[in-house]
Amino acid sequence: MKVDCIIPYCDEGLRPLNVVEAILSIKEINKIITIDDGSQDNKAFKIIKSRHPQIISLKLKKNLGKAEAVKEGMKFATSPYIFLLDGDLSNIKEAEITDGFLKIAKDNRIDMIIFRRIIDKTVLFSKFIRHDTIFSGQRILKREDLTKVLNSKIEGYKLELSINSYMINNHKKVYWMPLSVYNPSKQKKWGYLKGIFKIGIPSFFKYMISRDIIYQTFFYCRDKAP
């Protein structure tokens, strides 16, 4: 099984470098594609580019948002599967990621695996809204499916929700697996109130109480990968 890993990030310090170096030895990963989504600090981009020239390292002139950053990375993807990985993670365990790749390789009925963050409880109401699963940026899916999602209109912070909705509407088989990473939320990075203002208060409430959120919270991706 061959997978291309896409890592979008913006103003994450040196965390993207740490993410890259944590997955370099995973043999199933064919390409690593990083996208700096208009960071003010170029240090991570420069170090990744100089230290790991085999990595496709992209730099956007301005912040376009996660969905657009991933879309730029997809221009360089060629493998049948894509592994989406956030650029601010820590405590990445290679064996857990490899186990996810092996699950899909052994069972082609699986369309996507979402890595559920089992130690990240940084967001208010995280357990109630199943933030660690339905909003997780860590997931393996088919390149053709992600391409179709990215060709649709995606608003604001809704990349993960859009992927979920596509999977639901097309009756895809989606499972979760545990991942022991730590992924700080915007509220954790900037403070809870500042994190909400960063998203925008109207968008925050629309985001949290949308029909998609309610359905996905109670019914989506309930089963662990067999």
Convert the pLDDT of each residue in 109-150 to its tens digit: 999 999 998 875 554 456 566 878 998 999 999 999 999 999
Please check whether residue 154 is in contact with residue 67, taking contact to mean a CB–CB distance below 8 angstroms.
yes
Residue 214 pLDDT grade (very low, low, confident, very high; cuts 50, 70, 90): confident
Which residues face 82 on adjacent strands?
4, 141
Q: At what angle do helices 159-169 and 66-74 cross, to 10 degrees?
A: 70
Residue 186 pLDDT grade (very low, low, confident, very high; cuts 50, 70, 90): low
Record the tokens describing residue 191, joined without a space: 């403070």
Q: How far apart are CA 113 and CA 224, in angstroms?
A: 9
- Kindly report the CA angle at 86 between 223 and 126, in degrees rounded to 5? 50
Instruction: Give backbone dihedrals phi and psi of 119, rounded to 5 degrees, phi first.
Output: -115, -5
Please say if the pLDDT value at position 62 is more than 80: yes
Q: Pairing state of beta strands 112-117 and 139-142?
A: antiparallel
Q: At what angle do helices 15-23 and 94-106 cross, to 10 degrees?
A: 50
Query: Which percentage of the chain shows pLDDT scores above 70?
Result: 83
Q: What pLDDT sits at residue 122?
A: 52
Residue position matching structure tokens 């993960």 = 160
At 84-102, the pLDDT tens digits run: 999 999 999 999 999 999 9
Please say if the pLDDT value at position 54 is more than 80: yes
Residue 1 pLDDT grade (very low, low, confident, very high; cuts 50, 70, 90): confident
Q: What pLDDT sits at residue 182?
A: 83
Spatial CA neighbour of 59 closest among 32, 84, 35, 88? 35
Record the tokens describing residue 125, joined without a space: 């109401």
Residue 72 pLDDT grade (very low, low, confident, very high; cuts 50, 70, 90): very high
Please say if the pLDDT value at position 217 is more than 60: yes
Q: Which domains does the chain have, with CATH numbers?
A: 3-219 (3.90.550.10)
Q: What pLDDT sits at residue 123?
A: 47
